[in-house]
Structure 1
Amino acid sequence: MPTKEQVLEVLKNCYDPEIGINIVDLGLIYGIDIDEEAGRVKVTFTLTTPFCPLGPELVDQIRELVGSLEGVKEVETELTFDPPWSPEKATEEGKALLRIMGVPI
């Protein structure tokens, strides 16, 4: 089974299609729970806005990427808006990219 760090690393290949920053650096990943016995990984995440039409696309990408890791039999996703996303949730790298795009942080 992968570690949380390995799950986060593979999720860096999943990009928010509107912003062009990966969902880890953007701060959209709120939690990763690994059940080694069941081979299940649960990813709790959010979107930049509740009105984002690309949520289903991100769910598919998360399931595909995490499901490709050795030992993963099932990928569960949970979308939450509590707490709501804000640019302050981004990693330092994500914040730097957002600043380049003119997003106030």
Structure 2
Amino acid sequence: MLDTDEEKKILEMLKKVLDPELMVNIIDLGLVYGVTFDAQGRQIDVTLTLTSPGCPMGGIIIEDAQQTLENNYPGSEININLVWEPACSIERLTENGKAELGYS
């Protein structure tokens, strides 16, 4: 759950980050588990997972998320925290994600 308008804004920015294999953004894929924004410390923390531990595009996705936030928050510390629990699952897809992947 996002607590601030700034965290909601960050989530919207991350919709620009696509999984290059699926061509669906990481928000609609349900890969982003959390975002925190600390304005005083100028720090953004994003917790996300990948579709699988062996995802060949994982590095590209993480770098794209990092660059997207660095471009919009210059001078802020951006931390992308990769986690594997809970694992990526169809249940985490948004309605848009399900539609784009043909699940609806």
Normalised to the residue count of structure 1, the TM-score between the two structures is: 0.87
C-alpha deviation, 1:43, in angstroms: 0.6
Aligned residues: 100
- The equivalent of 1:98 in structure 2 is 101
Q: Partner amino acid for 2:94?
A: T
1:11-70 deviation per Cα after TM superposition (whole angstroms, max 9, x unaligned): 111100111100011110000011111111011000011110221111111111111224
C-alpha deviation, 1:95, in angstroms: 0.9
Q: Distance in 2 between matches of 1:47 and 1:13?
A: 16
Q: Which one has the bigger strand percentage? A: 2
Aligned identity (percent) is: 36
Q: Which one has the bigger helix percentage? A: 2
- The equivalent of 2:57 in structure 1 is 54
Q: Partner amino acid for 1:48?
A: T
Q: Structure 1 residue runs of 4+, over 3 Å off?
A: none
Structure 2 residue 29 is the aligned partner of structure 1 residue 21 = no
Q: Give me the CA root mean square deviation.
A: 1.7
